Structure 1
């Protein structure tokens, strides 16, 4: 006898938040503050990506006094230090408890569709359906690991995305190529070199601000210079990675220093033919562009100090960049993997979003979110926690709450419109 599938009636709720990372928790806090009934659905655990999709030694890229949500400080982490990934997980769990976020873990949202003939949406999940007037996608920017189709998956190399890298002992014996020169790539390459591996680091376009300057951390400079509130990236810099590190107390990512430590810098990884990787020719120009960004920040900081008469110590040594290493002035254009002893490739090449479950008119033909300040063209659907959602800080712990509050206020206004019923006397008067 065929087993009959029992369909339970959908649970009704005003709003569904999808994802219980920092964006989902901040969103819940703002909805609760405006008395909007909601549920937060998380397919794994709170802050799952910090738990299982980061390397073991990772710490926050900003100091604890700054990289936090507004209603709680880190416990046991001095303000100028950098929280470990485990401390960040604990912090987000405690924050969710503090704001009484109605999180349901282990619930996978499989589809969101507009209801036929009724307002709102049917939210299909692994534990039954919800009918909701509003849906907020808070799944963040780190959804699908992006690996360029350069080296065949069936090659003899171990290929890992930075999402799956944990520590040097995870890799087989041999040398390593790290592809990507943002925060992840630079930090992983440095860790591997310190563990005794011979590392090639494939450098692509990046910005590399100073970790500190004139006694203040870069997060402070970005704040006073108004750069956290910058609303759009500069033309051509939309996908340029940020190279900064909080590891071992924090340091400026300096590619000259990495080269001096024994890491071989190479250009952008372009192709793989018969066991040989080929790299782009513009390594020196890429390093120079990163240097220019670094010096631009110093210039802006100096101007701010002078304009405001601040008593901050001068730091002329910060401008002494030093000579370019030989691997930059005379770059290696290709590497035979067998001859070089490279047995592993770490792809620190970023992520793409996955909104395949969002079956409404809120994404474009390529699956990218459509929105203005997090408000999608599909009435009732919102996004929060994405890079540059409203400004530079939107995807960071320090900035996501502002966007969440704005979206919650928009939802509160829409609730009033939806609930409005003209008084019968007023209606009669208006028709005379």
Structure 2
């Protein structure tokens, strides 16, 4: 007969077990609350750093934002930077103590330091940790500019604008001023390699300022920088501002063309790099352009329109010369309203101005005025109101060398003197 088994009685919870359970629940609730506060604090770090700090006093990033607000809020002019940085130092120190990677806090501490050597050490350490923060890199840039460290300052600007392209309006004028320093040109040539969008944007910005043209010319001469449009603007700007020789040097560099003074021959109709290539009018009812065949230009002038329809600079020929022009412009009875005009570069007054005739024209110019290194070859065209539009093609103009005028004989000179 089997012996009945004894049922084992389950032990009930001891008096200590409920206490442990309550502690575990409370700990879990506390951790959840801390996580929630941390989450809220993180969310509000940028928008409401003071609230974030009150929710989570150990939030170093929130303290950093609070310190940055305190600092920037106290600066309205240059002499307030250091006092404002000193006022924000407690918040910045607290931020750095709670979170080592707080670049704004480090920048504020550096600004507040009266010891230049200490400031340099702080900035060097901070830059090794963070190369993206605007405030920190701006301070680094300021120190580099003071030290005339062009390579370093341009490298810092490059980093800033790659990360903060919205800062171009603030940083481009600072960068532009450095173009006037000859020592900065090699650093510019190294940085502006086209690897970032801001490089061409800056060149397009700077080339619009006549004061920057000389520096930009040196930069272009030192290496292949910028777009073709930048080159065009630079060449045109230099020529328009009286630096014709420098502009022509860059034109030769960009186009590969050269022209010795006094060379006879055709003048092509290319229009890539004005003013040493052609500059064509391009308006409604008044325009010129290279034709379907390279050796021709097309013109169109509607009734009531007129002016300089095409012009370019060339080296003035040495000695006596003429210009041959062959055209097919209609109506033939209005061809006389087309004129060839020659001016010395920089002059508004033509030294030669003659009407076109039918068919082939040989304009005997003679010699260019003394000191006229470059001359503008211009074509004026007008269609009077109520008359037909002018239209047609002009073949390549051609420089033709003329024989020198013979000197008067000595006997004739003496005879003329005796008659007097």
Of structures 1 and 2, the one with the larger relative CO (CA 8 A, separation 6+) is 1
TM-score between the two structures when normalised by the length of structure 2: 0.24
- Higher-Rg structure is 2
Higher helix share: 2
TM (norm. structure 1) is 0.24
